[in-house]
Every structure is written in structure tokens, then in C-alpha cells.
Structure 1
């Protein structure tokens, strides 16, 4: 487990959440907040976070939507412990089960209303980090089809998968949806006007039959280039990342 001296106490959603994270390990940032903002959970829903890390996405979601039943699956025991600690210190209930997405533990073989995931994105064979915990969180070890299949198996009919991933993984993700998931919609995450979108948000519904939709991008920053130390978020991105606003209207 992490020593307290090796952790930072980080603010999310302008301090509405305080999360312990390793100073030199994998650290959640904007992806977790965007993933939570895109999830269409409603009060009373059951939510499974595949590869929950320190719990950032689930807890950001719970900060917006009350009365959720949160469950996380995490293969690294030290991060699973952090997720439990972070839930408790923010006054939220979250069950965290240690295990692998490729072999979902029996304790999680029940239906959920929502499944969220932020799978590793760094290509296999590279060196994403010299720190093992961060490398495990970042580097692809399982095909994305395994993540999609695990989500499809855990969703009840009509339930939603919400996932954030690299844009280059989109063909594999779409190919993995059939036959259980449909009504897919993809939201490109564009850093600035005129820039390619390196990341995407994907939503798909178990048993959904609606046509595929490629949505207008969410632009995260204003201006043509980074300008000093200012974050320069667009108003919509600022509302999501700072105020916890939902991203649901983008998927309508």
C-alpha cells in the first residue's frame, strides 16, 4: 500500500472532492472528470467502474448525481485501497473489488445500470513510465474488445457503457460493440479549434438499435495555442471540469 508521505491531496471540481493520489504513480486528471460528466446515470442507478484506479471518475459522478450505488473493479491493490479511502474521506459509499477485467470476479457478476471505463491507452511494447503502478494504468495489456465485452456482460438491458479512449482505438471499439451493444455515439475531444482530437468519449446501450452518431467535438481550450501558464478552458469545458456540469446534452 502507498505510504501517506508518498501521496498528494488533490482538489477536483473546485474542491468539492479531495482525492489522495500517488505523487509518483498514475494520477487521474481531466479524463476522469470528462468520463463522469458523460455518464447518463440517474439517482438510484448502480454504477460499475472498470479499472477504477483511485476512484476519481466514480466519485466525480457521485458528486453530481445523488444516491448512486458505486462499485469499482481495480487490479492493483494499492490503488483499490486508495479508492476506498477516497470514497470514505468524501462521505461516499463505494465497494471496490480487486480483480482483472479479463476475469471479472464472481462478486461482480450481477447487472448494473451503468458501466464506465478509462482503459489504458499507451501502445504495448513502449515505456509509458518507469514506475510500475503508472505503467500498468497506462499501457495496453488487454484488447479494448475485452473491456467492451466485460461491460456488455455486466450491463442490464437498456444500460449504458460510457468509455473514454484514444481516437485511434475507435475502429476497434466500434467493432467490439456487436452484438450486445448499439445506439453508439462518439464525442471527439478536441484540444483547440483546428486541432485533431486525440481522445474520444463513446457511449453505447445494451440492446440499443439506434444508428451510430458522430457528434460535433467538445473543444477544451480557447485560442490557437497554449498561452503561458493559463489553462484557457472554453466555457463549456470549464463548467464540466470546475463546476461538475454534465456533458449529457452533447449526446442528445
Structure 2
């Protein structure tokens, strides 16, 4: 993918961020916003996003926590260019490296980060049909195994650093199976659309060198009510604060 023909400009965090992204192809929704909100980052720390797309997760994190050293890796040159443009337009410093996470340049292989974040492709490509748009297919269809995402994250984390990712619940066995003894203190936060619904997404965080017990938290409910009954925003207040005001997502104690 060398160019993007049609673009839209979309508001995130209640208009704090204006993001240009493809009109067709992979379009960022709430998942990268939730990912950014779940990262326990503090000013002065370094963050590496694997597969950053047009930069939504990193820029949402940078808007919430000023003073971060943000770096994104993106395979597709056109998306990487949009991420650079979005960072400039929103006044947030974000270094974008166009590279395959399976072959990171030496400038990244020699660094350790306080945080690594990722929103890996959700779908096994041997299951289902490929998306007709190449950019969307690359973003959503797994070409690089989840195990390599986890391995790359573990290598790039500094001792004591945090991995935070969002993934479909059905892929959770692959995520957990890819973890080794370098990553501990694993916590899972299932995300469910409404009360009584099964969780379709999970947030996961793990610490390099962590020794804490595995923790499976109660599901975080995104919408009010047990079913969709009206048009408009039905997010519970805590999620609305994340999506509209850039608040942090609080992990259960």
C-alpha cells in the first residue's frame, strides 16, 4: 500500500484530537482509545506501540499523559505517513518507524521501553475471507503470528516495564500461550458490551520480571442497559469519560 486515495478527518477524545484516516480500509474506532486509556504510563517514560496504524492509540495516550517519549512502528508506509501527519497536526511528539516488527531496525533493537502497547490483528487468516482493501486486510488479518508480537514486546521492554494490549477474547489462548517467564503479573480485564453479554474483547497487561499472581478481573461493561433501546451514546459514565474526555481506564484494585 503506497498511497491512500480517500481520507476522512475524525474527532477523538471529544474533539481533542483530529485524526486523518482512510475512508476505506482499516479505520480506528474505540479499541485503540481503550488501549491507550489502560496504559499505566507517567510523564518522562518511554512507550513503543507495535502496529500503530495512523497513530490513534499513541496520540490518545500522549494527550492524556504529556511528557512521554512516544515511538510507533507501522508496516504500511501510507499509514505510517498518516501517523506522522496526525502527530504534527495535533502537536504531539511521536516518532514513527516504518518497519516490520519481525525485522526491527537496529535503532529500536538496542532500546528498552517502559511500556509496549499493541492492538494486534484480530483474525486468523485461515479463518474467514480476506478483506478486499489491502490496508484493512493487513491491519485485521494476521500475517505475523501473535507469538511474534508478544516476543517482540518482551524483548523491547525494559526490566519492570509493562506490556498492554487489546485483543479479541477468542484469541486469548494464543496470547497466553505465547507468554514465557519474562512476562509476569498478568492481569486480564474482559470487555463486554452490555450486562449479561459475553466478553468479545479483553485488555491484558503484564510486567517484565513481574512475580504477581495471575488475575482475571470481572468484566468491564461498556454500555448501560441490557439491550440497545435508543439512538445515541449509551456508554456507562466511566467509559464515556475515557472516550469523550481522555480519562484513564482504572483497573480493578
TM-score, scaled relative to structure 1: 0.96
Report the equivalent of 1:118.
Answer: 119
> Post-superposition shift, 1:102?
1.7
Report the equivalent of 2:108.
Answer: 108
Q: Distance in 1 between matches of 2:184 and 2:99?
A: 27
Answer whether contact 1:121 1:138 (CA < 8 A) is retained: yes
Q: Distance in 1 between matches of 2:165 and 2:92?
A: 22
The count of aligned residue pairs is 250
Q: Is 2:54 the counterpart of 1:54?
A: yes
1:82-130: CA deviations, max 9, x gaps? 0000000001111111111222221211101100000001221322421
> For structure 1, which segment, 222-231 or 74-83, has the greater mean C-alpha deviation from structure 2 after superposition?
222-231
Report the equivalent of 1:159.
Answer: 161
Report the equivalent of 2:181.
Answer: 179
> Post-superposition shift, 1:212?
0.3
Answer whether contact 1:128 1:138 (CA < 8 A) is retained: no
Q: Distance in 2 between matches of 1:55 and 1:128?
A: 24
Q: CA RMSD in A?
A: 1.2
Q: Distance in 2 between matches of 1:227 and 1:59?
A: 33
> Post-superposition shift, 1:222?
1.0
Q: Distance in 1 between matches of 2:221 and 2:230?
A: 19
1:163-201: CA deviations, max 9, x gaps? 000111112212222121000000000100000001000
1:65-93: CA deviations, max 9, x gaps? 01001100000000000000000000111
Q: Distance in 1 between matches of 2:244 and 2:147?
A: 32
TM-score, scaled relative to structure 2: 0.96
Report the equivalent of 1:189.
Answer: 191
Q: Distance in 2 between matches of 1:179 and 1:103?
A: 23
> Post-superposition shift, 1:202?
0.1
Gapped regions of structure 1 (runs ≥ 5)? none
Report the equivalent of 2:74.
Answer: 74
> Post-superposition shift, 1:251?
4.4
Q: Distance in 1 between matches of 2:189 and 2:198?
A: 13
> For structure 1, which segment, 134-143 or 101-110, has the greater mean C-alpha deviation from structure 2 after superposition?
101-110
1:116-155 map, 5 Å = 116-125=117-126, 126-155=128-157
Report the equivalent of 1:9.
Answer: 9
Gapped regions of structure 2 (runs ≥ 5)? none
Answer whether contact 1:192 1:223 (CA < 8 A) is retained: yes
> Post-superposition shift, 1:229?
2.5
Q: Distance in 1 between matches of 2:147 and 2:182?
A: 12
Q: Is 2:228 the counterpart of 1:234?
A: no
> Post-superposition shift, 1:224?
1.7
Q: Distance in 2 between matches of 1:211 and 1:21?
A: 40
